[in-house]
Every structure is written in C-alpha cells, then in structure tokens.
Amino acid sequence: MGAAILTNLPALLVVVPLLLAPFSAVLPIAGLAWVLALVGTGISFLAALMLQSVTENGVRISYHLGNWEPPWGIEFVVDSASSLTLVVMSGLGFLATLAARRLVAIEIADKDSGKFYAAWLLVIGGLFGLVMTADAFNLFVFLEISALASVILIGMGAGTDRRALVAGYHYLVIGAVGATFYVIGVGFIYAITGTLNMGDMASRLPDAAGGAALYVGFGFMVVGMLVKAAIFPVHIWLPAAYGYAPSAVSTLLAAIATKAALYVLARIFFTIFAGTPEIVDIALSNIIVPLAVGGIFVGTIMAIYEADIKKMFAHSSVAQIGYIALGLALATPAGISAGFIHIGNHALIKGGIFMAIGGFVAALGARASLETITGIGRRMPITATAFLICGLSLAGLPLTAGFISKLYLVRAILETDSYVILALVLISSALSVVYLWKVMEVMWMQPAPARSPKLVENPAIYLPLWMVALGNIWFGIDAGWIVGAARLAATALLGGGA
C-alpha cells in the first residue's frame, strides 16, 4: 500500500484535485466543498513535499500514465526543478485555500460556492499537471483546464464588482490566443520531430533538418507561454484579472498561476530546445532579457500611479514576474537559481499581500483603495502588520525572503558583467519603494476618517495570513533550504533534464 502510493505520487498530485472537483460542484453545503478543497490541496502539498525529498539527491522520476511507454503514452517527469516548483505551488495553494473559507463566504453567494471550489481545484490540479507533464500536447490540455477554470473564478468576482466579467473575458480571449500560439508551435515541432514527448523532441531536434519550421515552431511556443506567464508586453490581461477577481482568487492566482507558466518557459528553453542552443541564446539575450527589464519598469511605474490597492499589487506582480524571467533568461546556473528562489519567495510575498488585502476588503465591505484604507493600520493592526511584513519583503529588506531574492539576482547579474541591467534592476527596486511607501504611509501615518465604523478582524483570514508572513521572515533568516533547492533545480534544468 505504502509503496503503491509512493510510486504513484506524481499522478496523485494531479488526480486528487481533479477528482475532487466534480464532488465539490454538487455538494450543497459551502463548508463541505471547502473541506474537500482543503483536503485536496493538503494531500497535494504532502505529495509534493515527498517528491521533493526524493528528488533532492538528483533523482529524476519518470512516471508513465496508465503504464503506457512514452512516446505513445503520456509521461510525467519530476526532477529537482519541477519538485521545487510543485512544493511552492502546492504549499501556497494550501494556505490560500485555508484563507479562502472566510473570503469566499463574504464575496461569493452560498449557492455558488460548490462550483467555486470545483473550479478552484481544477485550477490547482491543472497547474500541477502543467509543471509535471513531459508531453508537449498534454501540456496544452492542462493549460486549458487551468485557464478555463481561472476564467470562471475571475468571473465570479461579478457579485461584488461587475468589471470582473470584462476582466475574465479579456483573460479568456488573450489566454486562448496564447494557448493557440503554443499549440501551433507544438504542431511545427511535431512535424519536424514526429514526437510529442519533450525528451524525444530534445534529442531529435539537433539532427532534424528543421529549417524555418524550427524557428517558427520555437517562436510560437515561446510567445504563447509569454502570454500565459504575463511577460511584458503581453501581460495586459493580468492587472484587471487579479484586480477584479474575488480576493481568494487573486491570492491563489498571484501566488501560483504565473509561476507554472514561467516554469514551462524554462522547460522550453532548457529542455526541449537544449539541443539547439543558438536560437535559445538569441531569444534569451535579445528578447526575453529586454522584455523582462521592460516589464519590471512598466509594472513598477503603473503600480506607482495606481490608487486601487489590488490593481496596484497586480501591476507589481508584472514587475516581479520580470525579475523571475530575468533570472531565468540569464541562462547561467546562478541566474536560474535566482529565478527559482524568487519563484518561491514571490509566491510567499504576493500570497500574503493579496490575503491581507482580502482581509481589508472583507472588513471594509468595499474595494481597497488608497482612500478606503486610510488609517487602517490602527483599525486592523493584526492584518495590517502582516501586510507590512510582506510589503517589507517585497521591497527586499534584510531578514525577509525578498532580500534573499534580490541578493542572489544581483549576484547573478554581476557574474555576467551586465552592468546596465544591474543599474536598471537597482533603479526599479528603488522605485518599488515608492508605491509601497504610498500604501504604508496612508495605512499607518494618517488618521482614520472621522466616525469610521469599527472594523473586525477575522482569525480565519489572519491566521493563514500570518503563516505566510512568518514564512517571509523564516525564509529571510534561514534561506539555506530554498537556495540549495534552487541550485539543484538549476543543475537539473541545465543538465539536459527530460
């Protein structure tokens, strides 16, 4: 029994959430649906942790779905790169689910919560599949599962703000374009190599006389995933989607959704096209690096001029995704490690920030804007302090996780002697203090408006929030685990991987 579970862990990670989803949809009681979601994400988290401990020694697990050998069957691959991504995603997914109970109860009608948690589980299961699958077409399937479920979740924000419908629609259309691009690219590569298995693609591509088809296929696949990862300038769906989605959904998506797409991008560059480094190098240094830096600036500057708190931090996510993409695009062991470190740390930071904003929204009963959160520091000290900690981490202050990210990213950039990029990163990082300062100033240094009602803080929200906030401090003081795991991940990716 034990061994059977252990060998089937990769499948379990995807199957459990996907199987629980339909049950959740038909459950009449909101609380029960939530318990199902919690159990599903909890099991996934445990499974991911176990996978991580197995792959820590450089072991690479290849799992054949239904015992069909690749290239006929679908293969799941778990190595130290994907297991780290899975641990981050499932851990934050679990914490987001914990906090979701109260946030959903407030923002979603009771009769819809069953469907809500069903979509919730589909998103999570789909994203896990995205990370593990070694089949290029199967990846498209998981991409669509998670994307469509995300659209449902975003659209459910319409109960409190009708703009959520437009945001969801935009995401649907732009996301579909991205996914289509990706699948067109896969088509070209399939035509050249005759396989959908990533490992086989990688080994056949160097010898296949691909010619133009190779470039076109590569280009379509990359652009498609750039859309999904919300890399500038195809990030435009993200601010509205995160901004108008229900608070719980913003937390989940901000913490884990783009991380999976970023990971897939890394797989495309360093696994599928490992055999044709010329085009990868050109794409990385001439396209991805400038786009990443551009995203960092655009996101930061948009955040500075944004008055709506959720949208502000959604813009900030665009910038933070830029930091991750920049690290990965440096294509050095140090750079990729820095990217993975920030995948983990940014999930902690943004997960916490959106949870806290959810707490504010729940108590205020209104959207959180610079105006409505005036003086909230003293009215909701528990939530606001956790928010402050995550904010400090976002700014990269020492003893927080964000500092470790910045430190290793800067070191990786210095190693490649790119001083212009270094200067740009430092400037943008200073600029990010501006919008954080704006929020903190309003929250802590201005008095609450006269005759404002008393705000109630709910432990169901602030307990998970504080776990995340303390995580930001913990991984800022003891960064050994994430730094080590990220280094292994970089080795696994650059070593050829699948």
Partner 1 sequence: MSLHTAMLVGLLAPLVVAILTPFLAVRHVWRDAAGPIGGVITFIAAVHVALAVLDGETPRLFVAQIAEGLALEFAVTPLGAIFGLVASGLWILAALYSVGYMRGNHEKHQTRFAAFYAVAVHAAMAVAWSGNLLVLFVFYEILTFSTYPLVTHKESALARNAGRLYMSILVGTSVVLLLPAVVWVWLSTGTLDFRPGGYLAGQIDPAMAPILLALFAFGVGKAALMPIHRWLPAAMVAPTPVSALLHAVAVVKAGVFTILTVVVYVFGIDFLAETGAADWLVWLSAFTILASSMVAITKDDIKARLAYSTISQLSYIVLGAAIASSIAVQGATLHIVMHAAGKITLFFCAGAIYVQAHLTKISELDGQGREMPWVFAAFFIGALSIIGIPPLGGSWSKFMLMVGAVDSGYLVILGVLGLSSLLNIYYLLEPVSRGFFRPKVKTVEVTSHPLVVIPPVLTAILSLLLFFYVDFFAALAKLMVIS
Of 118 and 388, nearer to partner 1 (C-beta) is 388
370 binds partner 1 (CB under 8 A): no
Counting contacts by CB under 8 A, is residue 62 touching partner 1? no
The C-alpha angle with vertex 270 and arms to 267 and 272, in degrees rounded to 5, equals 70
Residue 19 vs 426, nearer CB to partner 1: 426
Task: Give 171-202 as a DSSP string.
Answer: HHHHHHHHHHHHHHHHHHHHHHHS--BHHHHH
Closer to partner 1 by Cβ: residue 59 or 445? 445
The nearer residue to partner 1, 277 or 333, going by C-beta atoms, is 333
* Rg, C-alpha atoms of the chain: 21
Tokens 């937390």 belong to which residue? Answer: 251
Dihedral sign, CA of 182, 187, 192, 194? positive
- CA separation, residue 250 to residues 63, 124, 151, 311 (Å): 32, 13, 12, 10
Q: Does 66 bind partner 1 (CB under 8 A)?
A: no
Residues 391-430 close enough to bind partner 1 by CB under 8 A: 395-399, 404, 406-407, 410-411, 414, 426, 430
Question: Cα torsion for 207, 213, 217, 223, to the nearest 10°?
Answer: 130
C-alpha angle with apex 283: 280 to 288, nearest 5 degrees?
125
Q: Quick one: 433 or 455, whose CB is closer to partner 1? A: 433
Task: Give the Cα separation of 182 and 437 in Å (integer).
Answer: 39
State the nearest-atom distance from the C-beta of 414 to partner 1, in Å. 6
Of 21, 476, 486, 497, which one interacts with partner 1 (CB under 8 A)?
476
CB closer to partner 1 out of 66 and 480 = 480
Return the number of the residue (148 or 341) whose C-beta is nearest partner 1: 341
The footprint of partner 1 on residues 442-461 (CB under 8 A) is 445-447
Residue type, 384: A
Stretch that binds partner 1, among 137-145, 148-156, 203-211, 478-486 (CB under 8 A): 478-486
**Min separation Cβ 92 and partner 1, Å:** 22
Q: What is the C-alpha to C-alpha distance for residues 207 and 68, in angstroms, rounded to an integer?
A: 26
Residues that bind partner 1 (rule: CB under 8 A) add up to a total of 25
Of 177 and 399, the one with the shorter C-beta distance to partner 1 is 399
The verdict on 58 binding partner 1 (CB under 8 A) reads: no
Q: Is residue 210 a contact point for partner 1 (CB under 8 A)?
A: no
d(CA 55, CA 51): 6
**Shortest distance, position 398 Cβ to partner 1, whole Å:** 5
Rule CB under 8 A: say whether 371 interacts with partner 1.
no
Q: How far is the CB of 439 from partner 1 (least distance, A)?
A: 14
Which DSSP string do the residues of 94-156 spell out, in sequence order?
HHHHHHHHHHHHHHS-GGGHHHHHHHHHHHHHHHHHHHHB-BHHHHHHHHHHHHHHHHHHHHG
Applying CB under 8 A, which of residues 28, 441, 459, 496 lies at the interface with partner 1? 441
∠ CA 435-440-444, nearest 5°, is 160
Q: Is the dihedral of CA 236, 239, 242, 244 positive or negative?
A: negative
- Residues near partner 1 (CB under 8 A): 395-399, 404, 406-407, 410-411, 414, 426, 430, 433, 437, 441, 445-447, 476-480, 483
